[in-house]
Structure 1
């Protein structure tokens, strides 16, 4: 941060002598100090000047300091300008509390002590500089994220295009030369198509991950039962899957898209990696513990893998009933849970399959 940043200070007092004294205390080479004698005049100046700090007298005719600050805090262009009250009013709590309630950052009591006045103003200007630097970095970050998202979409398109071409070419060869292709070649073609689909899915997952982790909508009151039903309808599991729902008719505070993504991933995994003839999944809400449990009767997950499965690209290598996993789903689940201030973990004590817990839920 540049310590020699140029600052503009606005001093407001109805007594010219007070303005002269305060200006003499605060003058520095890297500061422009503007003075005026009323709140109305101060408001006019704020329309034209970029001000870093306001020092305003409390007791003024027509518009006192409280009224002036109340007006500035209502306008987005001036609401964040730090303001110090300069006052001869007693230091009673009711006056101080009123000022802080309005948004003032501090008080200077008359008669002013020069060294204290300088140090307070210097400190608040440093805070202003940090705040401005943070805003600039945030704006740059937002712009960079937009560029990265656009770049990711372009890369995804450019990577998927040749994969789609490979798949189409293989299918064309199979159709045109069906009688000439032997069993070994057919198996090799199937391997190529499977690899292409896996790579395409990985690209989609990476793109989906980058968007969902950073750009979810705000929290809302959602009904667990309704959201779970919507996810099950979307997944559309086959007739060999039985899903039991227990005590789900409760409302929680959660980002809707994130909640659906978490539930969808956990249910899909329970179906995909199940090794039984009938897949059984039980989804339960415990209102005393504020948690959702998703149990299945699958092969289970080794206890020493309980945390590793949430790592990016980590897979157990288990056989699945569909496309193989990319090791991103549970990492995304963990990230989305963290954004909603909840925890998702594997209950390693459950031995009849797998049990995932979504805990620390906020009940609405």
Structure 2
């Protein structure tokens, strides 16, 4: 059951308060009253109020002074204020009222229809704001649960996955039967792919939950790229990977993140590149303040894929590749590059070649 929406009426004349209650009270709306500024402040600090109707001419503390105090508190400054006044409309009074934070002025005797219409607008806005706030909180909780699920799933999958990988390797070493060794190689290959998927899920969970924490050190982009190429080339002896470097390739960078950047970029290039064409890695350290990395592979990327390339779960080139990954590799690359203050973009040339270009601050 939803709570009533509160409206506050502030007036030093008791008859006016009774009249306002009779006019505005209805199901779903509770009209709260205060006969002075201090009493109004107590109510505002204790209750959530959708709108305050404030009489300008009050003893001790007038409506303008009350408005300034309301705007001065973090809890109450967002409460909309409508001033009620019996004074003739004067530009000076109106200006002071809007300067104090009023959203509107109504002059006594108040037109009941106009008042109810204005009040209804703020009541509806408040109700929608509350609804959106509830939906946002529900989405936050759902996202938190999803991230916890992914983290737990990734953690719990690693132990049995390691056992499968070790078992496949043991079978391969113990048997010379080509059929058995081929099956063991397929199990190991599938295990490697699952390990990569689990790692990507955990990376995305960390990115969305805790952000990216960097540990920059002076490292060589060239040496790290050679390390990753050696690991990936071992599993893809049919693919050629060329590395070219220029200038000073050392920079301050988080080594673990840079390894993941190279691994994802080169892995994607190996997976999606045209058969028979080498993957090219160009590391350009000729600039004083930046290092540029380009990973190129043969083949043009479809136009329909480009706009989704760096989005999570959208970056697989075609549906036919869906079984080979989760579409998280380039999303993770972009997040890690951005965390370093760098930039990443896609370049697809007329030479039937696709390149991912990264610019990192040195």
TM-score category, normalised to shorter length: 0.5 to 0.7
User: What secondary structure is seen at the aligned counterpart in 1 of 2:33?
Assistant: strand
Contact 1:334 1:343 in 2 (8 A): yes
User: What secondary structure is seen at the aligned counterpart in 2 of 1:55?
Assistant: strand
Contact 2:279 2:298 in 1 (8 A): no
Q: Which residue of 2 aligns with 1:320?
A: none
Alignment of 1:194-205 (within 5 A): 194-205=189-200
User: Which is worse superposed, 308-317 or 45-54?
Assistant: 308-317
User: What secondary structure is seen at the aligned counterpart in 2 of 1:78?
Assistant: coil
User: What secondary structure is seen at the aligned counterpart in 2 of 1:81?
Assistant: coil
Mapped to 1, the partners of 2:83 and 2:286 lie a distance apart of 56
Mapped to 2, the partners of 1:85 and 1:284 lie a distance apart of 66
Change (3 A) 1:283 1:91: farther
Q: How far off is 1:234 after superposition?
A: 11
CA RMSD of aligned residues (A): 4.9
Q: Which residue of 1 aligns with 2:95?
A: 94
Residue 206 of structure 1 pairs with residue 209 of structure 2: no
Mapped to 2, the partners of 1:86 and 1:284 lie a distance apart of 70
Of 190, 193, 217, 2:188 maps to 193
Change (3 A) 1:305 1:284: farther
Change (3 A) 1:57 1:264: farther
Q: Which residue of 2 aligns with 1:15?
A: 13
Aligned length: 324
Once the two structures are superposed, residues 124-161 of structure 1 have per-residue CA deviations (whole angstroms, 9 ceiling, x without a partner) of 00111111111111222222222222222232234333
Contact 2:64 2:97 in 1 (8 A): no
User: What secondary structure is seen at the aligned counterpart in 1 of 2:9?
Assistant: strand
Mapped to 1, the partners of 2:124 and 2:336 lie a distance apart of 36
Alignment of 1:62-81 (within 5 A): 62-81=60-79
Q: Which residue of 2 aligns with 1:130?
A: 128
Mapped to 1, the partners of 2:53 and 2:10 lie a distance apart of 6
Mapped to 2, the partners of 1:347 and 1:17 lie a distance apart of 74
Q: TM-score, normalised by structure 2?
A: 0.68
User: What secondary structure is seen at the aligned counterpart in 2 of 1:34?
Assistant: strand
Alignment of 1:1-364 (within 5 A): 6-87=4-85, 88=87, 90-92=90-92, 94-100=95-101, 104-173=102-171, 178=174, 180-182=175-177, 185-212=180-207, 214-215=208-209, 236-238=224-226, 241-243=243-245, 267-268=262-263, 271-272=266-267, 273=269, 279-282=281-284, 295-296=294-295, 298-304=296-302, 307=305, 310=309, 312=314, 314-315=316-317, 327-332=327-332, 345-349=345-349, 351=351, 353-356=353-356
Q: How far off is 1:74 after superposition?
A: 4.3
Q: What stretches of structure 2 of length at least 5 have no aligned partner?
A: 228-241, 271-276
